[in-house]
């Protein structure tokens, strides 16, 4: 009877996971959970209390950092380290419910503490999503966009916005796309850089605009823009698409007219690229992995580390609440049964398999 109930719960969890989406920013339901973290600060013998408080704040920051890492994929974590430090970790107290100092004292020129920190992990996850720091969802293709020739912010912004509205392909910012030497060199160098950065697709764009009339006596200035994009599959180097667009604009300002033409050309090009690229790019369907019975964030850390050691194309923690974690995983093999077996063979936590579906696997961790 107990096994039947657990399997029915697993099936209900699958149904909920299939309909799940990231919580809206500002909606927090999960109770805070603790992480045991260490912190340190320079020891000031004139004010030991201040040294202790700084060390505790450092421990709070480390706890928040660890909670954030649970909801970030490894690429996003590396790429956005500085943003994370300046945003989420600048005021870690916003994500801390309470703390309990377990130990502390002077250690040479430092003051060190060990603190149990209760963090609002769902608030941290929501903040990461609102700042676009969580990384792409599992199974979603990631595209790098580079612009050759004269750079145009109007074209680039319009292209990215229009493409993102119409495609599930995630455009991410990569440092190599602004490297002037790479942009002026062979396309093969850009493909190598895109591969090293972990991009699935490379969009190589160009745009230019010029006045198309003098506007002498009318007070209005017409202009014309031309834009193009080549879409490459990074893994193979294969060119998937080559598209072009043109757009006209008119304004009482010559500069504004050119800006409008470039933006229109970018939007038109993105609309066509989104439709045609989506039909060419086929991504592996992610498997929903539910794990029940987790006793806290520290066990969740161990679970994620264990999963990352497997042959996975991508892994994303979608949600965690009440001891249940739901991951979205793209394994090396698309067979859920085979994936479940691989998980159990590499397990050191004591996982038990509860159910396997078409694209779902459920485990439990007996407490």
DSSP characters for 252-303?
SSHHHHHHHHHHHHHHHHHHHHHHHHHHH---PPPEEEEEE---SHHHHHHH
At residue 109, the pLDDT reads 94
Residue 335 in this model has a pLDDT that exceeds 70: yes
Question: What confidence category does residue 79 fall into, taking pLDDT thresholds of 50, 70 and 90?
Answer: low
Question: What confidence category does residue 4 fall into, taking pLDDT thresholds of 50, 70 and 90?
Answer: very low
Residue 20 in this model has a pLDDT that exceeds 50: no
Question: What confidence category does residue 220 fall into, taking pLDDT thresholds of 50, 70 and 90?
Answer: confident
Residue 321 in this model has a pLDDT that exceeds 80: yes
3-state secondary structure of 142: strand
Distance CA 266, CA 149 (A): 15
51 close to 136: Cβ distance less than 8 angstroms: no
Residue 131 in this model has a pLDDT that exceeds 90: no
Alpha carbon 15 to chain centroid distance? 24
CA distances from 144 to 171, 176, 200, 203, 265 (A): 6, 9, 8, 6, 19
Question: What confidence category does residue 17 fall into, taking pLDDT thresholds of 50, 70 and 90?
Answer: very low
Lowest mean pLDDT among 100-109, 111-120, 173-182, 350-359: 173-182
**CATH 3.30.160.150 residue spans of the chain:** 142-280
Question: What confidence category does residue 332 fall into, taking pLDDT thresholds of 50, 70 and 90?
Answer: confident
Residue 172 in this model has a pLDDT that exceeds 90: no
At residue 28, the pLDDT reads 57
Largest CA distance in the chain: 88
Question: What confidence category does residue 16 fall into, taking pLDDT thresholds of 50, 70 and 90?
Answer: very low
Query: Residue 285, class by beta-carbon neighbours within 10 Å (0-12 exposed, 13-18 middle, 19+ buried)?
Result: exposed
DSSP 95: G
Question: What confidence category does residue 353 fall into, taking pLDDT thresholds of 50, 70 and 90?
Answer: very high
Residues 137-157 have a mean pLDDT of 83
360 close to 14: Cβ distance less than 8 angstroms: yes
Residues 266-280 have a mean pLDDT of 90
Q: CA Rg, the chain, in Å?
A: 25
| DSSP bridge pairs for 317 | 327
**CATH 3.30.1660.40 residue spans of the chain:** 30-130
Residues 110-126 have a mean pLDDT of 95
Distance CA 187, CA 199 (A): 15
**Which class is domain 30-130?**
alpha beta
Question: What confidence category does residue 356 fall into, taking pLDDT thresholds of 50, 70 and 90?
Answer: very high
**142-280: CATH number:** 3.30.160.150
């Amino acid at each position: 009877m107990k096994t039947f109930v657990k399997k029915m719960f697993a099936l209900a969890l699958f149904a909920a996971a299939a309909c799940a989406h990231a919580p809206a920013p500002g909606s927090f339901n999960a109770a805070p959970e603790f992480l045991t973290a260490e912190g340190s600060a320079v020891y000031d013998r004139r004010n030991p209390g201040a040294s202790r408080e700084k060390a505790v704040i450092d421990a709070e920051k480390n706890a928040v950092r660890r909670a954030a890492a649970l909801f970030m994929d490894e690429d996003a974590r590396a790429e956005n380290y500085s943003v994370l430090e300046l945003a989420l970790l600048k005021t870690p107290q916003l994500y801390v419910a309470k703390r309990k100092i377990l130990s502390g004292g002077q250690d040479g020129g430092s003051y060190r503490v060990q603190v149990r920190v209760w963090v609002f992990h769902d608030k941290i996850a929501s903040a990461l999503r609102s700042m676009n720091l969580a990384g792409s969802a599992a199974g979603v293709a990631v595209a790098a966009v580079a612009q050759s020739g004269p750079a145009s912010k109007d074209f680039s912004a319009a292209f990215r916005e229009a493409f993102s509205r119409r495609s599930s392909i995630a455009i991410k910012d990569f440092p190599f796309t602004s490297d002037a030497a790479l942009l002026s060199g062979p396309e093969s160098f850009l493909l190598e850089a895109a591969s090293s950065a972990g991009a699935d697709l490379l969009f190589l764009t160009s745009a230019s605009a010029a006045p198309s009339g003098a506007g002498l006596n009318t007070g209005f200035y017409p202009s014309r823009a031309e834009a193009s994009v080549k879409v490459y599959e990074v893994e193979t180097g294969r060119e998937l698409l080559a598209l072009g667009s043109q757009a006209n604009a008119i304004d009482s300002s010559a500069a504004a007219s050119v800006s409008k033409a470039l933006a229109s050309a970018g939007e038109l090009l993105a609309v066509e690229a989104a439709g045609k690229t989506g039909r060419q790019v086929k991504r592996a369907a992610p498997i929903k992995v539910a794990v029940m019975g987790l006793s806290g964030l520290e066990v969740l850390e161990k679970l994620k580390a264990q999963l990352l050691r497997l042959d996975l194309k991508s892994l994303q923690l979608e949600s965690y609440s009440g001891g249940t974690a739901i991951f979205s995983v793209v394994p090396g093999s698309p067979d859920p049964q085979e994936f479940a077996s691989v998980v159990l063979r590499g397990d050191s936590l004591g996982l038990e398999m509860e159910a396997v579906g078409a694209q779902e696997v459920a485990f439990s961790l007996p407490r």
